[in-house]
């Protein structure tokens, strides 16, 4: 049985220390990379959808790995989009919504779907990263990697 994880994108970003320090555009991309690389959702068979509040003109380049779908809720907000996805599902028991928003949690539970806190989800992936600061053993934090890449882009354009 595969599961469908639905992430309340900005809620996860705001509640995750290493993401909250970044600009929103960077944090969106880093969240998707984190999910692809660290697989806090477990099996590769599990589907992941990240839902962000959006407006006309918001976009994000498609992740290289199609394991993560990204939705910008432009006609409504992310909370309502998540509720709609869960409410329309034929198998809500196979859905896990990652959010700390109590209203969304309450609705999701009323539909027989599961809820996971943002911290629990991130910690599942962080365990394989070697710590909460984003640094792997002897490696660079993700923020340091981003800063180095920016410097290289400036130097070598």
What's the pLDDT score for residue 132?
41
**Exposed, middle or buried, 121 (CB in 10 Å: 0-12/13-18/19+)?**
buried
- Phi, psi values for residue 131, rounded to 5°: 155, 170
DSSP state of 92: G
What's the pLDDT score for residue 54?
82
- Phi, psi values for residue 64, rounded to 5°: -60, -35
Q: Give which of 146, 126, 114 is closest to 34, Cα–Cα.
A: 126
Q: What is the enclosing helix (H) or strand (E) of 21?
A: none
pTM attached to this predicted model: 0.77
What's the pLDDT score for residue 144?
62
pLDDT of residue 21 exceeding 90? yes
Q: Tell me the pLDDT band of 151, cut-offs 50, 70 and 90.
A: low
Question: What is the per-residue pLDDT across 91-133, written as a single tens digit (0 to 9) for each?
Answer: 999 999 999 999 999 999 999 999 999 999 999 987 754 444 4
Question: Which residue's structure tokens are 């027989």?
Answer: 112
What share of the chain in percent tops pLDDT 70? 73
Average pLDDT over residues 28-38: 92
């Amino acid at each position: 049985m595969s599961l469908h994880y639905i992430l309340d994108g900005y809620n996860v970003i705001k509640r995750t220390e290493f993401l909250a320090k970044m600009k929103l555009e960077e944090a969106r991309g880093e969240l998707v990379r984190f999910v692809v690389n660290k697989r806090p959702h477990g099996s590769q068979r599990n589907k992941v959808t990240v839902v962000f509040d959006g407006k006309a003109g918001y976009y994000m380049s498609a992740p290289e790995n199609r394991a993560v779908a990204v939705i910008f809720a432009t006609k409504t907000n992310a909370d309502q989009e998540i509720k709609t996805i869960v409410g329309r599902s034929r198998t809500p028991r196979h859905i896990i919504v990652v959010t700390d928003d109590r209203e969304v949690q309450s609705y999701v539970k009323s539909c027989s779907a599961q809820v996971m806190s943002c911290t629990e989800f991130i910690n599942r992936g962080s365990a394989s990263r070697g710590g909460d600061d984003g640094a792997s053993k002897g490696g660079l934090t993700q923020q340091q990697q981003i800063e180095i890449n920016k410097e290289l882009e400036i130097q070598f354009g």
